[in-house]
């Protein structure tokens, strides 16, 4: 039996959501920034415990607040990847309240937090930032180098099944 | 509402509105109707199987309330059609969903442009903000550094102002004392001289402290390593404080662990300075009770011995803040009065830094009103060598020396006269190059001690002149004195057989130069050459005779002196006259003559004979070399 799951990619604009999808689905990366309009859908089949899981990925245009994202885009989501950009404080400064809000509007679904653009910060900077956020289960990723990208989707798939 | 649209109308709609499409499907997904204007939708089949997008929200439709719209403003479509679409779903009865698709591709450019600009500018702004904050932080750091620099600068200025104030006090007394000396001619002059000496010693100590400190600060300070007698060194320093301790009524204790090594390798001068500074500090602040120094042996290996030093006093003590302050070299315990306690107050700072240079750390524990304990540990290398015995200057007798002093400065002259009289040196004092040249032609000297700059010229050139002419004092050793670093003195390096002392000169250093250095004895065989009319073989024969006989005569002279045999003395002094003349050394010639006259006059001769014999022996050594050259 094949499972189909709606995964939403959310977070501020320019944090690398589309780049993560691009890396995950097409193994490509571009330095150019072309913002996503509305939502762009893509999919990839992953294996979880021997089952095929079709991840239907909704790459939603980034906003500086989740409140600005139309409710319909999140409707029926089975899991979310919340992405922030380690090189831009504004993308993680209000992370906790963003997560609280998500918990209200899409309760009970697994949310994996991704600290993207790992390649742009050094170890101390990254540690400082992550310490200040004091969140569990943040995965450091880089769409540019491919670091932890596969793992990010895989982890979420496992939680959704 | 769409079920009311007739086929005609639908066609019209297709023609006039190719930008939209309507699909009717069952909540279970089955396609009921479609107008395939934009995308191909197969009837009868499930929309969920045809579009992943719908498949992923399949579960939403059964629960969607009747009449409620589900809107997706903009979807980038890539399933069956490329472009930008607006999607709208309405459940118009219990089971059917009407899906309207609007093609917005023609607006894509416009929408994208607006959003891209908004995002780009927000991101740019953020980066600019980050940059600005970073620059701000850098500036703050720079400001802080500047402030710190400024603070240190101010501190140093203040410090130097205080120190120069300190220096002015003894300087004032020095000039006052000189005036007194001038006006009082000679009466009471020895007292004034003593006072002058004490004052200038004090000033000298201040200057040395400041110089030491600035050298340590600049990292230009290096320690020398040579064997020295540890216990003796410590005992001597403590002994030096005994008098002042007794006067104050303070008990001075010294405990030295008997197991500490006798000889160690180290910088004895700097080590002494540490002990001296710490003891003098302890004594300075202690008015009753005791000051003690304990030296104990700690860890030890075959070659290394760690020693612990503890200086304990029952003095006025310090607060923690005082301790912090006192170790900062340019600081003073607040309110400390130089005049009350004397010194620059730099002693502790210097001791601390020296201990650090030697690899230790000074620890201070103190309680106000109770006293202070200072501790430090140093590692010493056990010495395999015996220390070189230093001659005790108080027992050195320099009365055999004749020294020509050239100094125009009055204070300098007073100081040099003081040294000369203290050591019994026969000094001739001149104040100009002209006078110097007259004296130098008049008489042979053992040393010329001279200032570098004189009112009528510079002495380096004058000495070069003297050395270039054959005659009296051609090779007399010169000791230059100057307030300048010797590196900046032109031509000094070219002068052979000289020494150099920086002003203010330390008496000890000058005495050391005068007594450690064996005065050089030169010979001049011109007389002999004339007498033998250049006959080399004859010259050689005569020299051999001198080399054989003169040493025997010297033995006789000493014997005669010991036995007070005036007749023999006179005979031998007379007999050696030709040999001495042939050596061509004016000083020896004059010395012999003077001795002979004294013996004739029945005057006592003491050290002069000893010195004369020593000098002749040296001259014979030179003669031996000269003979080889013939
Ligand atoms: N160095 C680096 N750059 C990245 C990384 N991921 C994304 N980028 C760059 O960041 C910019 C934005 O990436 P996108 O993937 O378009 O960001 P987005 O989150 O989809 O942005 P919106 O669609 O506007 O919400 C692009 O220029 C990417 O090349 C990364 O891991 N490292
Ligand atoms: Mg995007």
**Mean pLDDT, rounded, of chain A:** 94
Verify whether the Cβ–Cβ distance A37 to B74 is below 8 Å: yes
The H or E element spanning position B138 is: helix B105-183
Q: What is the per-residue pLDDT for B395? A: 52
Angle between helices B410-423 and B105-183 (to 10 degrees): 60
- The C-alpha atoms of residue A45 and residue A2 are separated, in whole angstroms, by 9
**B225: pLDDT strictly greater than 90:** no
Whether the CB of A4 is below 8 Å from some CB of chain B: the reply is yes
Q: Which of A3, A4, A6, A15 is best to mutate for the B interface (most B CBs within 10 A)? A: A6
Residue B557 · residue B573 · CB < 8 Å: yes
**B396: pLDDT strictly greater than 80:** no
* Average pLDDT, integer, range B306-316: 94
- The C-alpha atoms of residue B34 and residue B99 are separated, in whole angstroms, by 9
Q: Which of A12-21, B61-70, B258-267, B277-286 has the highest mean pLDDT?
A: A12-21
- HSE toward the beta carbon, residue A103, CA cutoff 13 A: 7
Whether the CB of B64 is below 8 Å from some CB of chain A: the reply is no
Q: What is the per-residue pLDDT for B389? A: 46
Give the dihedral sign, CA A111/A112/A117/A123.
positive
Residue A139 · residue A108 · CB < 8 Å: no
Whether the CB of B107 is below 8 Å from some CB of chain A: the reply is no
DSSP reduced 3-state for A94: coil
| Higher local confidence (pLDDT), B478 or B159 | B478
DSSP-assigned letters across all residues of B207-275: HHHHHHHHHHHTT------EEEEHHHHHHHHHHHHHHHHHHHT-EEEEEE-TTS-SEEEE-HHHHHHHH
Q: Which of A19, A68, A85, A121 to mutate to test the pocket of ligand 1 (most atoms within 8 A of CB)?
A: A19
* Average pLDDT, integer, range A9-13: 96
User: What pLDDT digit, counting tens, does each position of A73-126 carry?
Assistant: 999 999 999 999 999 999 999 999 999 999 999 999 999 999 999 999 999 999
The complex's ipTM works out to 0.94
CA of B55 to the centre of ligand 2 (A): 22
DSSP reduced 3-state for A65: coil
CA B160 to chain centroid, in Å, comes to 18
* Average pLDDT, integer, range B530-554: 87
Q: What is the per-residue pLDDT for A138? A: 94
Distance from the Cα of B482 to chain A's closest Cα (Å) equals: 58
- The C-alpha atoms of residue A150 and residue A46 are separated, in whole angstroms, by 10
Q: What is the per-residue pLDDT for B176? A: 66
Q: Which of B447, B450, B403 shows the shortest CA–CA distance to B431?
A: B450
**B166: pLDDT strictly greater than 70:** no
As given in the structure block, the two tokens for residue B614 are: 């020593």
For A12-116, strand residue ranges (E) read 39-48, 51-60, 79-85, 111-116
Q: What's the alpha-carbon Rg for chain A, to the nearest Å?
A: 15
Q: Which of B95, B97, B98, B77 shows the shortest CA–CA distance to B86?
A: B77
* Average pLDDT, integer, range B1-12: 59
Chain A residues whose CB is inside 8 A of the B53 CB are 41, 56
Verify whether the Cβ–Cβ distance B55 to A56 is below 8 Å: yes
Q: Which CATH number fits domain B225-382: 3.40.50.300, 3.40.640.10, 2.60.40.10, 3.30.565.10?
A: 3.30.565.10
Q: What is the per-residue pLDDT for A110? A: 95
Per-residue pLDDT band at B444 (split at 50, 70, 90): confident
Per-residue pLDDT band at B273 (split at 50, 70, 90): confident
User: What pLDDT digit, counting tens, does each position of B98-153 carry?
Assistant: 999 999 888 888 989 999 999 999 999 999 999 999 999 999 999 999 998 888 88
| Strand-pair category, B453-454 with B457-458 | antiparallel
**B57: pLDDT strictly greater than 70:** yes
The domains found in chain A, sorted by start residue, are: 2-160 (3.40.50.300)
User: What pLDDT digit, counting tens, does each position of B28-51 carry?
Assistant: 999 999 988 888 999 999 999 999
Whether the CB of B81 is below 8 Å from some CB of chain A: the reply is no
Strand order in the sheet with B69-77: A138-140, A111-116, A79-85, A3-11, A51-60, A39-48, B69-77, B83-91, B96-103, B20-26, B31-34
pLDDT above 70: percentage of residues in chain B: 83
Verify whether the Cβ–Cβ distance B74 to A58 is below 8 Å: no
The H or E element spanning position B295 is: strand B290-300
Verify whether the Cβ–Cβ distance A35 to B126 is below 8 Å: no
- The C-alpha atoms of residue B329 and residue B159 are separated, in whole angstroms, by 10
| Higher local confidence (pLDDT), B614 or A89 | A89
**A44: pLDDT strictly greater than 90:** yes
Residue B163 · residue B210 · CB < 8 Å: yes
Q: Which of B77, B79, B116 sits opposite A35 (nearest CB)?
A: B116
Verify whether the Cβ–Cβ distance B108 to A37 is below 8 Å: yes
DSSP-assigned letters across all residues of B60-108: HHHHSPTT-EEEEEEEEE-SSS-EEEEEEEEE-SSSEEEEEEEE-HHHH
- The C-alpha atoms of residue B359 and residue B517 are separated, in whole angstroms, by 35
As given in the structure block, the two tokens for residue B322 are: 């005082």
* Average pLDDT, integer, range B156-171: 70
Q: What is the per-residue pLDDT for B16? A: 54
Give the dihedral sign, CA A148/A154/A157/A159.
negative
Whether the CB of A36 is below 8 Å from some CB of chain B: the reply is yes
Cβ-based burial of B502 (10 A; exposed 0-12, middle 13-18, buried ≥19): middle
| Higher local confidence (pLDDT), B556 or B219 | B556
Q: Which architecture does CATH list for B126-221?
A: Orthogonal Bundle (1.10)
Which positions ≥6 away from B28 have C-beta within 8 Å?
B46, B95
| Higher local confidence (pLDDT), B354 or B522 | B354
Verify whether the Cβ–Cβ distance A56 to B56 is below 8 Å: yes
**B428: pLDDT strictly greater than 90:** yes
- The C-alpha atoms of residue B621 and residue A52 are separated, in whole angstroms, by 110
Whether the CB of A27 is below 8 Å from some CB of chain B: the reply is no
Q: Which CATH number fits domain B393-514: 3.40.50.2300, 3.90.1640.30, 1.10.3720.10, 3.40.50.150?
A: 3.40.50.2300
Residue B51 · residue B72 · CB < 8 Å: no
Separation of first and last alpha carbons in chain B: 141
Chain B residues whose CB is inside 8 A of the A4 CB are 52, 55-56, 58
Q: How many A/B residue pairs have CB atoms within 8 Å?
A: 84
- B7-103, CATH topology level: Beta-Lactamase (3.30.450)
Least confident of B187-201, B278-292, B519-533: B187-201
User: What pLDDT digit, counting tens, does each position of B379-393 carry?
Assistant: 988 876 655 544 444
Q: What is the per-residue pLDDT for B381? A: 84
Q: Which of A25, A33, A120 to mutate to test the pocket of ligand 1 (most atoms within 8 A of CB)?
A: A33
- The C-alpha atoms of residue B337 and residue B230 are separated, in whole angstroms, by 34
Chain A residues whose CB is inside 8 A of the B111 CB are 37
DSSP-assigned letters across all residues of B107-132: HHHHHHHHHHHHHHHHHHHHHHHHHH
For A:49-88, CB contacts with B below 8 A are 54, 56, 58, 61-62, 64, 70, 72-73, 75-76, 88
* Average pLDDT, integer, range B410-434: 84
Verify whether the Cβ–Cβ distance B76 to A41 is below 8 Å: yes
| Higher local confidence (pLDDT), B449 or B199 | B449
Verify whether the Cβ–Cβ distance B57 to A6 is below 8 Å: yes
Chain A residues whose CB is inside 8 A of the B70 CB are 72, 75
Q: Does the CB atom of residue A152 touch ligand 1 within 6 A?
A: no
Ligand nearest to the CA of A12: 1
Burial B583-596 (b: 16+ CB within 10 A, else e): bbbebbbebbeebb
Show me where the domains of chain B are located.
7-103, 126-221, 225-382, 393-514, 526-629
CA of A29 to the centre of ligand 1 (A): 9
DSSP reduced 3-state for B290: strand
Q: What is the per-residue pLDDT for B437? A: 92
CA B121 to chain centroid, in Å, comes to 56
Verify whether the Cβ–Cβ distance A37 to B76 is below 8 Å: yes
Q: Report the nearest atom of ligand 1 relative to the CA of A143.
A: 31
pTM of the model: 0.50
CA of A125 to the centre of ligand 2 (A): 25
Q: Which of B52, B71, B119 sits opposite A13 (nearest CB)?
A: B119
The H or E element spanning position B31 is: strand B31-34
The H or E element spanning position B300 is: strand B290-300
Whether the CB of A105 is below 8 Å from some CB of chain B: the reply is no
* Average pLDDT, integer, range B443-460: 89
Q: What is the per-residue pLDDT for B342? A: 46
**B498: pLDDT strictly greater than 70:** yes
Partners of B101 in beta bridges: B21, B87
**B566: pLDDT strictly greater than 80:** yes
* Average pLDDT, integer, range B154-166: 72
Least confident of A21-25, B314-318, B416-420: B416-420
Residue B263 · residue B385 · CB < 8 Å: yes
- The C-alpha atoms of residue B251 and residue B434 are separated, in whole angstroms, by 57
Q: What is the per-residue pLDDT for B487? A: 64
């Amino acid at each position: 039996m094949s499972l189909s799951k709606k995964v939403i990619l959310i977070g501020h604009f320019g944090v690398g959501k589309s780049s993560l999808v691009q890396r995950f689905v097409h193994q490509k990366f571009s330095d150019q920034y072309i913002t996503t309009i509305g939502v762009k859908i893509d999919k990839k089949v992953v294996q979880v415990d021997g089952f095929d899981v079709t991840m239907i990925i909704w790459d939603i245009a980034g906003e500086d607040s989740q409140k600005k994202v139309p409710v319909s885009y999140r409707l029926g989501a089975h899991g979310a990847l919340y992405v922030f950009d380690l090189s831009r404080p504004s993308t993680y400064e209000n992370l906790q309240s963003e997560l609280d809000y998500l918990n209200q509007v899409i309760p009970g679904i697994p949310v994996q937090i991704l600290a993207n653009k790992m390649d742009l910060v050094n170890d101390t900077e990254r540690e400082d930032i992550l310490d200040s956020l004091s969140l569990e289960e943040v995965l450091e990723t880089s769409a540019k180098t491919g670091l932890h990208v596969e793992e990010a989707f895989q982890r979420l798939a496992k939680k959704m099944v | 509402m769409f079920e009311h649209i007739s086929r005609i109308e639908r066609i019209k709609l297709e023609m006039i509105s190719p930008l939209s499409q309507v699909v009717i499907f069952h909540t279970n997904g089955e396609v009921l109707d479609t107008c395939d204007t934009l995308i191909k939708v197969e009837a009868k089949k499930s929309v969920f199987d045809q579009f992943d997008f719908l498949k992923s929200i399949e579960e939403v439709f059964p629960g969607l309330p009747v009449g409620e719209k589900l809107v997706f403003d903009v979807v980038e479509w890539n399933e069956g059609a490329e472009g930008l679409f607006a999607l709208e779903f309405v459940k118009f009865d219990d089971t059917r969903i009407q899906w309207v698709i609007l093609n917005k591709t023609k607006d894509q450019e416009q929408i994208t442009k607006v959003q891209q600009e908004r995002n780009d500018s927000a991101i740019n702004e953020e980066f600019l903000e980050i940059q600005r904050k970073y620059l701000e932080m850098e500036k703050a750091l720079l400001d802080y550094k500047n402030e710190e620099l400024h603070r240190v600068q101010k501190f140093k200025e203040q410090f130097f102002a205080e120190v120069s104030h300190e220096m002015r006090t003894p300087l004032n007394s020095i000039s006052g004392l000189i005036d007194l000396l001038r006006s009082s001619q000679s009466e009471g002059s020895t007292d004034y001289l003593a006072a002058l000496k004490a004052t200038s010693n004090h000033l000298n100590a201040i200057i040395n402290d400041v110089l030491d400190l600035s050298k340590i600060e600049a990292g230009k300070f290096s320690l020398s390593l040579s064997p020295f007698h540890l216990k003796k060194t410590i005992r001597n320093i403590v002994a030096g404080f005994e008098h002042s301790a007794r006067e104050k009524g303070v008990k001075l204790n010294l405990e030295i662990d008997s197991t500490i090594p006798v000889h160690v390798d180290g910088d004895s001068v700097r080590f002494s300075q540490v002990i001296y500074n710490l003891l003098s500090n302890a004594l300075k602040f202690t008015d009753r009770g005791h000051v003690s120094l304990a030296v104990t042996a700690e860890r030890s290996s075959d070659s290394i011995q760690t020693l612990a030093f503890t200086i304990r006093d029952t003095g006025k003590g310090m607060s923690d803040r005082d301790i912090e302050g006192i170790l900062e070299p340019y600081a003073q315990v607040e309110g400390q009065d130089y005049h009350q306690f004397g010194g620059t107050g730099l002693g502790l700072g210097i001791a601390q830094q020296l201990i650090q240079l030697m690899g230790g750390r000074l620890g201070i524990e103190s309680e106000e009103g109770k006293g202070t304990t200072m501790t430090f540990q140093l590692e010493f290398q056990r010495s395999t060598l015996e220390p070189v015995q230093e001659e005790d200057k108080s027992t050195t007798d320099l009365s055999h020396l004749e020294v020509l002093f050239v100094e125009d400065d009055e204070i300098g002259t007073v100081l040099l006269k003081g040294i000369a009289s203290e050591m019994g040196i026969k000094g001739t004092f001149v104040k100009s190059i002209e006078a110097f040249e007259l004296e130098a032609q008049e008489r042979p000297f053992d040393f010329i001690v001279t200032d570098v700059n004189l009112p009528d010229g510079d002495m380096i050139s004058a000495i070069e002149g003297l050395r270039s002419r054959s005659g009296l004092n051609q090779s007399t050793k010169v000791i230059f004195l100057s307030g300048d670093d010797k590196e900046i003195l032109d031509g000094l390096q070219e002068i052979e057989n000289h020494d150099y002392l920086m002003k203010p000169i330390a008496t000890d250093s000058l005495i050391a130069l005068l007594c450690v250095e064996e005065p050089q004895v030169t010979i001049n065989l011109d007389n002999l050459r004339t007498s033998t009319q250049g006959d080399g073989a004859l010259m050689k024969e005569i020299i051999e005779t001198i080399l054989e006989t003169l040493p025997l005569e010297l033995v006789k002279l000493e014997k005669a002196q010991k036995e007070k045999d005036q007749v023999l003395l006179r005979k031998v002094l007379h007999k050696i006259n030709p040999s001495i003349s042939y050596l061509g050394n004016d000083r020896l010639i004059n010395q012999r003559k003077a001795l002979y006259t004294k013996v004739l006059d029945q005057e006592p001769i003491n050290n002069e004979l000893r010195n004369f014999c020593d000098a002749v022996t040296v001259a014979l050594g030179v003669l031996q070399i000269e003979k080889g050259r013939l």
